[in-house]
Structure 1
Amino acid sequence: MEKLDSGLVKIDMGCNYTGWLRFKMKGAAGQRVNMRWSERPDKENTFFLTSSYIFGDSGEGTFEHRFNYATGRWIYVDGLDYLPEAEDISGYVINTDYERAGSFKSDNELFNRIYDTALWTFENLSLGGYVVDCPHRERMGYGGDGSATLNMGMGNFGLGALYYKWAADWRDVQREDGWVPYTAPTYWGGGGPAWSGFIIYMPWEVYLQYGDKRVLEETYPAMQRWLGFLEKNSKDSILVPWGPHIEFLGDWLRPGFTGGTPEEDLCLNNCYWVYNLELAAKVADVLGLSSDADTWRGRAAEVREATNGRFLNPEEGTYASGLQAYQAMALLAGIPTEEMQKEAWKRLEEDILQTRNGHIHAGITGGAFLFKTLQKAGRNDLIYPMVAARDYPSWGDMLSRGATTFWEDWEGDGSKNHSFLHSSYLYVGNWFIEGLGGIKAPGESAHRGFRHFVIEPGYLPGEKGLSRVESSYDSIAGKIVSNWEVRHHKMFAKVVVPPNCTAEMRFPVSLENVFESAEPVTNVKGIQLKDLREQS
């Protein structure tokens, strides 16, 4: 806290946060005190967040938010003729009521900081019964941003009730012709199919996480209408944009660029259409609607073939521009033919490791599905360098420049008037427990709710910056623990499986090199053994 030459009092709350302020102060009757919130130490106000307090006859009083909230780290106060004491000022974080469910700690301090910052950022965005993009400028429940926070949110907090409620919001805002806005419950803002299609993606992921199919039963009619809208806005199985560019976005806020070219956006959105169709088929399977499931899968095959024909550069094995977002979305949706799969993966690997020198080059939606694609394929070797990077563009770069919450864009220079507390890149928060701890969500409807799950410790022998991980997740079926440590070229793992649950543990070694309580695992009763190499 300091008194500036201008007469302003500058208060540093220690970190960026969303919530209330309680400020005990004194002055003369009728004296007005103005408080302005800022995310930047060099700017007296960001996003017009301002409150005022007028003293009564006593000349003493306490300002406290009641019906609104503010966001920022610094508070600039004018109208005070003294420097307040620290004990006169308190900040209170506000968010939707939920419990912590996940934990992660390792011997890599950068990873610990990124994990903690991702969770802190999320906690300051999950207010009002949904997850906002930012808590100051827009405060909107964007579907694209929701994809960036969905798995990390559910993997670290108990959010079944929040997402069940948010799914109802998405149903409520849908138009009669099937079009879905890009935000809910608010009804404004730009986006594209990967924003609106959250109405399919989110309920499916919630079902897998918690095992409650009501969210599918109640949302399925809306899913049908949304897919019907896409059909009406397509020609020869290629989407036709239905509005200006701001309503047909693809990847958004990748390094150095706001959005993609029209061809890039069309590629990502057509891939996402296939992904939505495949998820709708899985939903129909769960609901016992086999005819619907066959219809969705048949249509997905047609759109997949058209998408591959339109956007594949066969000589290069790339889709559209070949950037990370488009390669990953194509792979996630199964666009490449069997013959082209290997080449498409090779190009993605080259872009990450060689062209970008191990850095991410994707934005909100593209980055979310890049991480999903890599995690689904078990490619920790490609994620690790992106998360371990300390220079631009990376999460480590933000932290090195003093970030206490993650930013809206990778640049963070304030030139775009973007926020410093945003949901954009929070998908990294899911990787620590799932990718490194190895606690993997079921992935199949028969194994929803973690009654059966996989534990695959994410140790990478070639990386020297990580040799110990402690992770846990309080699933709907009970607490799962996965701790591992490497000592003297051996891995020691401790796993807790909840009662009445089963787990599959995977290790990248031969069975004769695996022991359970010092006993060769091949001699232990009650454990079924499987050599995964025989399935490849």
Structure 2
Amino acid sequence: MRGQVRTARLRASALGWYRAFVNGDDQTGPALVPRWTPFDQYVEFQDYDVTTTLVTGNNRIGLVLGDGRYRGGLGAFQHDSVYGDRLAGWAQLTIEYVDGTRDEYVTDTTWKVGAGPIVRSDPMAGEVVDLRVPSALDPATVIGGFPHAAVTPSGARQLIAEEVERVTEIGRLSAASIIRTPSGKQLVDFGQNASGVVRIRLSGPPGRVVRLNHGEIKGADGELDIKYLTPFRAWPHKPQTDQVTLDGRTMWWQPWFTIHGFRFVEVEGLDANLTSEDIEFVVLSTALEETGSFTASDPRLQKLYENVRWSMRSNFTDTPTDCPTRERSGWTGDAQVFAAAGTVFADIDAYFRRFLRNLAAEQLPDGRMPIYAPAEASEFSGGMARTTRMLSGSAGWGDAIVLIPWTLYSYYGDTTVLESSYPAAQRWIDFLGNRAAAPSRRKRGRRGRVSAHHEQFIVEKGFDWGEWMRPGESFLSSAVDSFRRSGATVATAYYEHSARVLGKIAGVLERTDDERRYTDLADSIRLAWREAYLGPDGRIGIDRQDDYVRALAFGLLDEQERPAAAARLAGLVIAADYHLGTGFLSTPMLLDTLRDNGYADVAYRLLLQETTPSWLDQVNRGATTTWETWEGYTKRGSAANSHNHYSFGAVARFLVEHVAGVAPGKAGFETIEFRPGLESGLTSAAAAVGTPRGTASIAWRKTVGHFSVHVVVPPGALGKLEISSESHLLTEGEHDLHVTIHGTLVNSRDAP
């Protein structure tokens, strides 16, 4: 430096993950940056204030690179080098001096490149480190003989500022227990399934190799069980394994460029027995502001809520993923069904806007949406695979481009997300229209004859995931059921629903012609759906729970038909001994649909069900996150599928909005509906949610003959307390109310 510094800022990014160092000071820390985006289109950069880090005279700036999502393994088959096979870094240091002048230093061919102790890093497989190899960033390392950096062509067309909180450390967990397994390995149980890495104290002779194997489940044999996480023999590496070659020092170590989903860590290669003082779980997630809470007199519901929170934390990394272990892909269907539930935990507005931007950026020319975002494809690797392209037209999944923006608008009240997603949403609806218009010989699940005019609105052609993973279904049986029986019923219902929602979006955006166009389209699809799937006896589709949930929730039935359909839905639940029979798409709507159509008692009894399939069955079996399937284990008792999937955790929204009872009325919580779940059988419940106007909360307690409720209405909002058939308007501020069970307001006072 050549003078007194006013400010100094370092901007940095990479094709891969990176850490930026200034004079040996780690500016990035545990953050996994840059965030996963369609790297052939844009890459995010980070901004660091290094004013106090620079010193008079010479300064050393460096970047350490890891594979990250750019070159590392992606998806169910761990395909690597999807976006490129050469890592690259970029940095720009801008120094402004007190005298008004400035200097700027950028990465170019004068920079030197050297190796370090990280031998291999992969976001899925893990990190391999040899501590005997000196780091090029060590001040004692002479870099004069290192080769110069080369300019690497980048497929990315744009470098953009990061818009979302980083994936970084959000907390630490201590070991709950440490045992020796029958094979003699040390197994650490942290008591909580989550995403992150281990920080461990290592000691041993030079050349000693220590391995850390991460997993969710301890098998019946007492050993770590990861077999269910490796269903595909094509995987090039054992998943979630970190390896360290020691250099003789005693030191704390944690990996830099990987992330694992786990509760248990199996440690190999250490002679000494570990204690809880030697190891800890560094939890990594997008550092969202968590604004929600929920409590209830039934601790099982409280545990369920916390399990969902942990699944959300685990999967809200650099894109909302399906699971943090097996695939880690940004599946659109999972995100679509969970988005509303996410709002009860944290401010997810910016996070999902980034997801939607990624999704729209990779929309195919014919309008179909990728099945996950980012799409795990680029020109470098030959574009989207044929199979992935075929799977990308699925209803319920692609509809995320319509339904997630509407969800964000409903909870946050900002129309810009509707505007930015609108063109992609239009193209998606056009794609569904082309699917429906394509001739098809299949007539799946029909209960009536469809007129020639309405046949053009039935979505038969193409692939759909369908309801997906009903109780007892496997991946294969779910797909087969959709192909042979129920796919068109689901797809046509979603075509109608998304067209109608897009009409509402057009209305909000004051696009009158579009509003009329999409509303008319939805009306036509509705008539076609009714001809095809509503039988003269009132039976719907395949006559399963999800058929009635969609019909009632999407408004596909006339008013006089709704009571019979609701009765049939309740009857199916009761016939199953109050067990649910729904999968990914309809489960988030099941309890609301029962409650809103006169069967609140059935809804709450279903919520409190304790045997498989149910939410509380997982809680009772010791789950600390929500599972991908209702069963979680095979009939032989071994783990099956992911044990950290947030999709079925969408029930958390029902807990907050219909058990505790606080939900948005008008968009953005301009009005707030307080509806205590008095029919739940609980004696008390409470919840708080973050809104654009501040925190809204409710706490109620039920006693013999009356109940008391404490409500907080944030500034600028109007509350409406609903009890039985009566409602009471509440202005902003705190309110203590005492109400009879019949809904009569006994007294009210504003809290000072």
What is the TM-score when the length of structure 1 is the normalising length? 0.90
Task: Please tell me whether residue 409 in structure 1 is matched to residue 629 in structure 2.
Answer: yes
Task: Please tell me whether residue 360 in structure 1 is matched to residue 576 in structure 2.
Answer: no
* Residue of structure 2 in register with 1:320 after alignment: 541
1:105 touches 1:112 (CA, 8 Å); kept in 2?
Answer: yes
Task: Please tell me whether residue 384 in structure 1 is matched to residue 574 in structure 2.
Answer: no
> Aligned pair in 2 of structure 1 residues 295, 255: CA closer, same or farther (>3 Å)?
same
Gaps of 5+ in 1: 527-536
* Residue of structure 2 in register with 1:450 after alignment: 669
* Residue of structure 2 in register with 1:274 after alignment: 496
Of the three residues 389, 403, 412, the one matched with 1:210 is 412
Note the C-alpha offset of 1:123: 1.1
Of the three residues 4, 10, 20, the one matched with 2:197 is 20
* Residue of structure 1 in register with 2:161 after alignment: none
Structure 1 distance, partners of 2:342, 2:264, is 27
The one-letter amino acid paired with 2:661 is G
Note the C-alpha offset of 1:339: 3.1
Structure 1 distance, partners of 2:704, 2:314, is 42
Of the three residues 185, 188, 206, the one matched with 1:11 is 188
Structure 2 distance, partners of 1:375, 1:148, is 19
* Residue of structure 2 in register with 1:473 after alignment: 689
* Residue of structure 2 in register with 1:437 after alignment: 660
Question: Which structure has greater strand proportion?
Answer: 2
Per-residue CA deviations over 1:329-371 (Å, capped at 9, x if unaligned) read 111222223332221111111112x212211111111212334
> Aligned pair in 2 of structure 1 residues 68, 254: CA closer, same or farther (>3 Å)?
same
Note the C-alpha offset of 1:488: 2.0
Per-residue CA deviations over 1:195-235 (Å, capped at 9, x if unaligned) read 00100000011011111111111110111100111111113
Structure 2 distance, partners of 1:6, 1:110, is 35
Of the three residues 44, 67, 75, the one matched with 2:224 is 44
Alignment of 1:127-276 (within 5 A): 127-128=317-318, 130-187=319-376, 190=391, 192-235=394-437, 236-243=455-462, 247-258=463-474, 259=478, 260-261=481-482, 262-276=484-498
Of the three residues 635, 644, 659, the one matched with 1:421 is 644
> Aligned pair in 2 of structure 1 residues 389, 521: CA closer, same or farther (>3 Å)?
closer
Alignment of 1:110-121 (within 5 A): 110-121=300-311
The one-letter amino acid paired with 1:475 is T
2:288 touches 2:346 (CA, 8 Å); kept in 1?
Answer: yes
The one-letter amino acid paired with 1:490 is H
> Aligned pair in 2 of structure 1 residues 25, 151: CA closer, same or farther (>3 Å)?
same
* Residue of structure 2 in register with 1:104 after alignment: 294
* Residue of structure 2 in register with 1:534 after alignment: none
Farther off after superposition, 320-329 or 260-269 = 260-269
* Residue of structure 1 in register with 2:131 after alignment: none
1:359 touches 1:393 (CA, 8 Å); kept in 2?
Answer: yes
* Residue of structure 1 in register with 2:383 after alignment: none
* Residue of structure 2 in register with 1:529 after alignment: none
Classify the secondary structure of the residue corresponding to 2:698: strand
> Aligned pair in 2 of structure 1 residues 378, 16: CA closer, same or farther (>3 Å)?
farther
The one-letter amino acid paired with 2:562 is Q
* Residue of structure 2 in register with 1:493 after alignment: 709
2:664 touches 2:670 (CA, 8 Å); kept in 1?
Answer: no
Note the C-alpha offset of 1:176: 1.5
Structure 1 distance, partners of 2:550, 2:311, is 26
Structure 1 distance, partners of 2:331, 2:530, is 29
The one-letter amino acid paired with 1:341 is R
> Aligned pair in 2 of structure 1 residues 237, 494: CA closer, same or farther (>3 Å)?
farther
The one-letter amino acid paired with 1:11 is V
The one-letter amino acid paired with 1:429 is A
* Residue of structure 1 in register with 2:553 after alignment: 332
2:566 touches 2:597 (CA, 8 Å); kept in 1?
Answer: no
1:406 touches 1:422 (CA, 8 Å); kept in 2?
Answer: yes
Note the C-alpha offset of 1:35: 1.2
The one-letter amino acid paired with 1:275 is H
Structure 2 distance, partners of 1:204, 1:64, is 41
Note the C-alpha offset of 1:305: 0.6
Classify the secondary structure of the residue corresponding to 2:580: coil
Question: Which structure has greater helix proportion?
Answer: 1
Bigger Rg, structure 1 or 2 = 2
1:450 touches 1:476 (CA, 8 Å); kept in 2?
Answer: yes
Structure 2 distance, partners of 1:24, 1:248, is 49
The one-letter amino acid paired with 1:6 is S
Classify the secondary structure of the residue corresponding to 1:114: helix
2:592 touches 2:654 (CA, 8 Å); kept in 1?
Answer: no
The one-letter amino acid paired with 1:498 is P
The one-letter amino acid paired with 1:305 is L
1:149 touches 1:426 (CA, 8 Å); kept in 2?
Answer: yes
The one-letter amino acid paired with 2:309 is L
Farther off after superposition, 322-331 or 373-382 = 373-382
> Aligned pair in 2 of structure 1 residues 377, 122: CA closer, same or farther (>3 Å)?
farther
Structure 2 distance, partners of 1:387, 1:342, is 22
> Aligned pair in 2 of structure 1 residues 100, 508: CA closer, same or farther (>3 Å)?
same
Note the C-alpha offset of 1:516: 7.7
> Aligned pair in 2 of structure 1 residues 117, 34: CA closer, same or farther (>3 Å)?
same
2:359 touches 2:401 (CA, 8 Å); kept in 1?
Answer: yes
* Residue of structure 1 in register with 2:245 after alignment: 54
Classify the secondary structure of the residue corresponding to 2:370: coil
Structure 2 distance, partners of 1:279, 1:233, is 19
* Residue of structure 2 in register with 1:285 after alignment: 507
> Aligned pair in 2 of structure 1 residues 25, 406: CA closer, same or farther (>3 Å)?
same
Farther off after superposition, 384-393 or 413-422 = 413-422
Classify the secondary structure of the residue corresponding to 1:482: strand
Classify the secondary structure of the residue corresponding to 1:349: helix
Note the C-alpha offset of 1:522: 10
1:253 touches 1:409 (CA, 8 Å); kept in 2?
Answer: yes
Per-residue CA deviations over 1:111-169 (Å, capped at 9, x if unaligned) read 111111111111111111x3111011111111211123211101221111101111111
1:511 touches 1:522 (CA, 8 Å); kept in 2?
Answer: no
> Aligned pair in 2 of structure 1 residues 449, 378: CA closer, same or farther (>3 Å)?
farther
Structure 1 distance, partners of 2:355, 2:597, is 29
Farther off after superposition, 321-330 or 378-387 = 378-387
Classify the secondary structure of the residue corresponding to 1:186: coil
Structure 1 distance, partners of 2:738, 2:524, is 53
Aligned residues: 511
Farther off after superposition, 481-490 or 221-230 = 481-490
> Aligned pair in 2 of structure 1 residues 497, 403: CA closer, same or farther (>3 Å)?
same
Note the C-alpha offset of 1:6: 2.2
Structure 2 distance, partners of 1:452, 1:108, is 29
> Aligned pair in 2 of structure 1 residues 356, 320: CA closer, same or farther (>3 Å)?
same
Per-residue CA deviations over 1:285-326 (Å, capped at 9, x if unaligned) read 0111011111111111111011111011221x2211221111
Structure 2 distance, partners of 1:81, 1:206, is 53
Of the three residues 516, 524, 536, the one matched with 1:302 is 524
What is the TM-score when the length of structure 2 is the normalising length? 0.65
Classify the secondary structure of the residue corresponding to 2:648: coil
Classify the secondary structure of the residue corresponding to 1:37: strand
Structure 2 distance, partners of 1:103, 1:411, is 27
Per-residue CA deviations over 1:495-526 (Å, capped at 9, x if unaligned) read 111122111221115689x9986797599999
Per-residue CA deviations over 1:428-471 (Å, capped at 9, x if unaligned) read 111111011211222xxxx21101121111111xx54x111111
Classify the secondary structure of the residue corresponding to 1:234: helix
Structure 2 distance, partners of 1:10, 1:416, is 18
Classify the secondary structure of the residue corresponding to 1:81: coil
Structure 2 distance, partners of 1:94, 1:469, is 30
Classify the secondary structure of the residue corresponding to 1:389: coil
Structure 2 distance, partners of 1:390, 1:522, is 37
Gaps of 5+ in 2: 1-177, 230-238, 378-387, 438-454
2:706 touches 2:738 (CA, 8 Å); kept in 1?
Answer: no
Classify the secondary structure of the residue corresponding to 1:14: strand
The one-letter amino acid paired with 2:677 is G
Between the two structures, name the one with larger relative contact order (CA 8 Å, sep ≥ 6). Answer: 1
Structure 2 distance, partners of 1:51, 1:421, is 21
